[in-house]
Amino acid sequence: MKLISSMATPLAIASELLAIAVFSLPIFAQTPPSSPPNSSDSGLEILGELAECVSTSLEAVPQADRQDLETLSMQCVFEVVILGPDGTLRSDANERMLALLEFTGGSLPARVVRGQAKVPLNPIEDRFLWTVPVTLGDRTYPFLLDTGASNSLLAHSIAAPLGLAGTPIPNDLFAYMVVGEDCSEVDATLMQFPHVSIDRATVEGMTGMGLPQTTIPQQLSGVLGLDFLSGFDAIVDPGRLELQLLPRSPAPVDAIPLEGKMGVMTAQVYLGDRGPFTFLLDTGAEVTAISQDLADRLSLDTTDLPTQEVVGFCGLETAALTTLERVRLADRQRDRLDAVILQKGVLDFLGIDGILGQNFLLHYKQHWRFDPPNALGFPDRGTLILSPATAP
């Protein structure tokens, strides 16, 4: 069984848009515009679509309380602003979110980043994964180091003593963004984190997710995602089993370019002499994965392939197991790399071809650099330097 803990969701954006939906829509519904807006994608029209969605949804819940309103509003934010009719990410999702924020005068809370850190990478037994020590309040907990998670996660059992409460996330929305076949019993919530620290590196103002501890890989206390890591230069050194977090620095000209997509970072990957293909780079995935669509384009016959169970935030998913003869990222290459073929979930939602996991990445020391966050709270671009991992 292999772990793939990728999760791409614009949670911080959803939090702000949720507030807009909850507080602005009742007023908008009472005083709709007298004439249509000039642009089909203007913030005014999008707000009108949200009002109609929430109003229709409330008809099915006549005795709705505030939590019902928040949950229905979140569902409408995703359906109207972020998702296309087929359940995948809209190509203009960023533009629609920006238009709504600008029209309503909303803004995302700025994250405050301070300090730097050097901490050990603690290997998880029998896994190609690491934990790092994360401090919340006056206690330190083991969190999975996960560059494939746009937002950090916290176990409900840790959040409750800290007085953190969240807004429920509808299970059918959560299913779009993670690996696993059954999200029906996953109690996911959206919450504001207190200041989060690793050694002397601290980030305040993060919006993350609460999950039952049983759904977090290895039942850890949490997952450290790019909402924290992207505030720094992050140096992941598998040879020395060390993570360094440093102030941002300029990237060298030969660095591998990264493109941001809803809070995660993607790069162009070649498979044999085919490509490039867009892959998410994920230290929280033990194994590399490709989409069924990419398998079809590569003419892979999956009929008689063995299967491998992979586990994500929504439990198990059975995937075909294949071998990629050559996988290349810039000038770094691995031959005969095991990979699983995923049928649905985060790959379809993001419209990407695959996930480059730890069976590729752990062979290299990685220097991650990230652009400052854009108006939506995540970096548009970044860079990566890969050098062979060597023991001290």
Write a three-state SS string for the chain: CEEECCECCCHHHHHHHHHHHHHHHHHHHHCCCCCCCCCCCCHHHHHHHHHHHHHHHHCCCCCCCHHHHHHHHHHHHHHHHHECCCCCECCCHHHHHHHHHHHHCCCCCCCEEECCEEEECEECCCCCCEEEEEEECCEEEEEEECCCECCCEEEHHHHHHHCCCCEECCHHHHHHHECCCCCCCCCCEEEECCCEEECCEEEECCEEEEECHHHCHHHCCEEECHHHHCCCEEEEECCCCEEEEECCCCCCCCCEEEEEECCEEEEEEEECCEEEEEEEECCCECCEEEEHHHHHHCCCCCCCCCEEEEEECCEEEEEEEEEEEEEEECCEEEEEEEEEEECCCHHHHHCCCEEECHHHHCCEEEEEEECCCCCCCCCCEEEEEEEECCCC
Average pLDDT score over the chain: 83
pLDDT in tens, 45-88: 888 888 888 888 888 877 777 667 777 777 788 888 888 887 77
Average the pLDDT over each of 52-61, 168-177, 224-233 and give the range with the smallest value. 168-177
Confidence band for 345, pLDDT divided at 50, 70 and 90: low
- CA distance linking residue 59 with residue 258, whole number of Å: 44
pLDDT in tens, 301-326: 878 888 887 877 666 778 889 999 99
Confidence band for 26, pLDDT divided at 50, 70 and 90: very low
Tokens 């996330």 correspond to what residue? Answer: 169
Interacting residues of 180 by C-beta distance below 8 A, sequence separation 6+: 311, 312, 313, 314, 315, 316, 317, 345
> To the nearest whole percent, how much of the chain has pLDDT over 90?
45
* 31 vs 166 pLDDT, higher one: 166
* Domains of the chain: residue spans and CATH: 10-104 (no CATH), 112-246 (2.40.70.10), 256-388 (2.40.70.10)
pLDDT in tens, 195-211: 999 999 999 988 888 88
pLDDT at position 353 over 60: yes
Mean local confidence (pLDDT), 121-135: 93
- CA distance linking residue 34 with residue 42, whole number of Å: 15
pLDDT at position 20 over 50: no
Q: What is the pLDDT of residue 35?
A: 40
Q: What is the pLDDT of residue 275?
A: 94
pLDDT in tens, 234-265: 999 999 999 999 999 999 999 999 999 888 99
- The pTM of this model reads 0.86
* 8, 223, 253 from 125: Cα distances, Å: 26, 17, 38
